[in-house]
């Protein structure tokens, strides 16, 4: 493949022993920062950790209690602020089902470190200062917009801060300014392609060559579908607002897993039920500790995201460990008549069926005492020109394919392209209508 594109070779190819020494030094510094917050001062003191020197080795990270999203909510608004308020230059918030936000503060130094991580990610995909970058995700309190924006500017790309939505305008911007790289959710890119086709355009009228996709779990089949439709390379990314946002882990040009920047984070994989560490290769919950963020340090944060560590080395030669794609969340598991399944399993099966379109919805209902699983999927437009028997056969084939994958045979609804709701942000793939009791 020729010369490996790299932003910071000294740290990206650092020897493993030197990387772990750097992690230990930064972990101690992070503990020192954390002790300045009301929340961690109490939590760490109760665990017998009252000074940075109590961390003798990286293994001692396991002596630190876990941090959860509920902890962040209870600490709102400033219980996790480790610096004087006037030292913070920005905050981002996110909210969950309870509506109580979590807040992450950043100093100017924190923003610079975050920008450096994103720049590494962008360059690892082969993007350069010659590219035109169109950012199709939300700005404001959502981290995806500003996170990628700052990193792309650092690389020297021409940045179009298009934000999300207004798909016709997005396409017009792509044409007028010859956009070569975009950042969007996978579901939105699939929607954008549908609009492109409906407008009578072809992908050859665009200059697009790369897409950065993330913010929602998606299957390898969805990624490949995006690549085939647009004739581009789509690079998987991983980030979460509690760990800054984008820039935590990214694929390189080889697309063999997500390089997680271990000089900025300590990564652990645990069994979400027992909370015990898991060996390399076993799927579990990602737990992360920040190593460079001063304003809001987080120790052993339970992300609820599910993945596994990949063995071996990437051909690019980077020394940082790699994550497999995120398969879902430990709290996203659906239980249907006693069977455990994840939405990602349904997506993976659907995207292997050529007749299936780019949008789908999983709906859960109650019929008497039994759960009913309904999968609504759009089809390619030409199929609706066929006869009823063709559609009935396809409905049965999709149902059997899903039953083999998830051990539950759902009811299948076939819809015309563009008829299911489209989200401009993270796709809402599951609608659970079952009573809460």
Tokens for 331? 């709290």
**172 occurs within a structural domain:** yes
Tell me, what's the pLDDT at 164?
A: 87
pLDDT of residue 384: 62
Q: Is 269 exposed, middle or buried (0-12, 13-18, 19+ CB in 10 A)?
A: buried
Residues 382, 278 share a domain: no
Stretch 246-262: mean pLDDT = 97
Which DSSP letter does residue 324 get? P
Inside any domain, residue 340:
yes
What percentage of residues in the chain have a pLDDT greater than 90? 72
Look at residues 331, 353, 388 and tell me which one is the last residue of a structural domain. 331
Question: Is the domain of 361 the same as that of 285?
Answer: no
Same domain, 200 and 219: yes
pTM passes above 0.85: no
CA distances from 422 to 166, 356, 361 (A): 12, 16, 10
Average pLDDT over residues 123-138: 97
Q: How far is 134 from 127, CA to CA, in rounded Å? A: 13
Q: What is the mean pLDDT of the chain?
A: 92
Kindly state the average pLDDT of the residues 202-230: 92
| 86 domain residue, yes or no | yes
How much is the pLDDT for 90?
Answer: 98
For the segment 79-117, what is each residue's pLDDT rounded down to a tens digit? Answer: 999 999 999 999 998 754 345 788 999 999 999 999 999
Q: 305 with 382, same domain?
A: no
Share of the chain above pLDDT 70, in %: 96
Q: Look at residues 304, 331, 358 and tell me which one is the last residue of a structural domain.
A: 331
Span 415-435, pLDDT tens digits:
988 889 887 667 788 998 988
Q: Is the dihedral of CA 184, 141, 91, 217 positive or negative?
A: negative
CB 82 within 8 A of CB 296: yes
Question: Domain limits at 18?
Answer: 1-331
Cα angle value 334/259/248 (rounded, 5°): 70
- Packing angle between helix 186-198 and helix 167-176, nearest 10 degrees? 80
The more confidently predicted of residues 299 and 358 is: 299
Fill in the DSSP letter of residue 353.
Answer: S
- Whether residue 226 sits in one domain with residue 204: yes
The answer as to whether 106 is a domain residue is yes
Residues 299 and 227 reside in one and the same domain: yes
Pair 374, 434: CB distance under 8 Å: no
Distance CA 434, CA 437 (A): 9
Does some domain include residue 397?
A: yes
- Which tops the pLDDT comparison, 383 or 280? 280
pLDDT in tens, 138-176: 888 889 999 999 999 999 999 999 998 899 999 999 999
Taking residues 51-77, report their average pLDDT.
Answer: 95
User: What does the pLDDT average to over 363-390?
Assistant: 82
Whole-number pLDDT of residue 423 = 72
Q: What is the torsional sign of CA 23, 28, 34, 36?
A: negative
Q: For 293-347, write each residue's pLDDT tens digit.
A: 999 999 999 999 999 999 999 999 999 999 999 888 877 778 787 677 878 889 8
437 domain residue, yes or no: no
Per-residue pLDDT at 191 exceeds 80: yes
Q: What is the pLDDT of residue 142?
A: 85
Total domains in the chain come to: 2
For residues 56 and 159, membership in a common domain is answered with yes
Last residue in a domain, options 331, 356, 372: 331
Instruction: Give the domain CATH number at 367.
Output: 3.30.300.30
Q: Same structural domain for residues 285 and 368?
A: no
d(CA 193, CA 403): 29
Same-domain status, 16 and 165:
yes
Please tell me whether residues 251 and 291 are part of one structural domain.
yes
Same domain, 91 and 135: yes
> Residue 163 falls within a domain, yes or no?
yes
Lowest mean pLDDT among 12-16, 190-194, 228-232: 190-194
pLDDT value of position 437: 46
Q: Which of residues 381 and 160 earns the better pLDDT score?
A: 160
pLDDT category of residue 369 using cuts at 50, 70 and 90: low
Indicate the SS3 state at residue 350: helix
pLDDT at 113: 98
Asked if residue 150 is part of any domain, the answer here is yes
Q: What is the CATH number of the domain that holds 57?
A: 3.40.50.12780
Kindly state whether residues 271 and 395 are assigned to the same domain: no
User: Which of these, 13, 242, 28, lies nearest to 114 by C-alpha position?
Assistant: 242
């Amino acid at each position: 493949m020729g010369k490996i594109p790299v932003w910071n070779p000294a740290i990206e190819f650092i020897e493993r022993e030197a990387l772990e020494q750097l992690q230990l030094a930064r972990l101690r510094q992070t503990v020192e920062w954390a002790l300045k917050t009301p929340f961690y001062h109490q939590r760490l003191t109760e665990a017998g950790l009252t000074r940075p020197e109590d961390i003798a080795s990286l293994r001692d990270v396991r002596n630190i209690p876990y941090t959860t999203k509920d902890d962040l909510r209870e600490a709102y608004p400033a219980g996790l602020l480790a610096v004087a308020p006037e030292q913070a230059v920005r905050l981002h918030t996110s909210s969950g089902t309870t509506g109580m936000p979590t807040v992450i503060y950043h100093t100017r130094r924190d923003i610079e470190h975050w920008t450096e991580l994103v720049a590494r990610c962008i360059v690892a995909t082969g993007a350069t200062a010659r590219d035109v970058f169109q950012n199709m995700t939300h700005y404001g309190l959502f981290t995806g917009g500003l996170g990628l924006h700052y990193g792309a500017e650092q690389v020297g790309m021409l940045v179009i801060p298009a934000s999300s939505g207004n798909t016709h305008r997005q396409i017009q911007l792509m044409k007028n300014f010859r956009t070569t790289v975009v950042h969007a959710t996978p579901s939105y890119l699939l929607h954008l392609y549908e609009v492109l086709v409906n407008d009578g355009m072809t992908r050859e009228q665009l200059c697009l060559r790369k897409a950065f996709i993330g913010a929602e779990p998606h299957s390898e089949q969805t990624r490949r579908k995006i690549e085939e439709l647009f004739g581009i390379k789509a690079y998987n990314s991983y980030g979460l607002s509690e760990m800054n946002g984008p820039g935590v882990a990214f694929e390189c040009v080889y697309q063999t897993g997500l390089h997680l920047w271990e000089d900025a984070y300590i990564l652990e994989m645990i069994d979400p039920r027992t909370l015990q560490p898991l060996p390399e290769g076993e799927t579990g919950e990602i737990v992360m500790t920040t190593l460079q963020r001063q304003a809001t340090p987080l120790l052993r944060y339970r992300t609820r995201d599910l993945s596994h560590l990949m063995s071996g080395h990437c051909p690019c030669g980077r020394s940082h460990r790699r994550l497999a794609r995120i398969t879902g969340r430990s709290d996203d598991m659906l239980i249907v008549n006693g069977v455990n399944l994840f939405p990602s399993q349904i997506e993976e099966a659907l995207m292997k069926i050529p007749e299936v379109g780019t949008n789908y919805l999983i709906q859960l209902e109650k019929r008497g005492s039994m759960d009913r699983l309904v999968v609504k999927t759009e089809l390619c437009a030409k199929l609706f020109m066929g006869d009823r028997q063709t559609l009935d056969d396809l409905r049965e084939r999709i149902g059997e394919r899903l039953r083999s994958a998830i051990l539950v045979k759902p009811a299948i609804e076939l819809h015309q392209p563009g008829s299911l709701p489209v989200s401009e942000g993270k796709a809402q793939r599951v609608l659970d209508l079952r009573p809460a009791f």
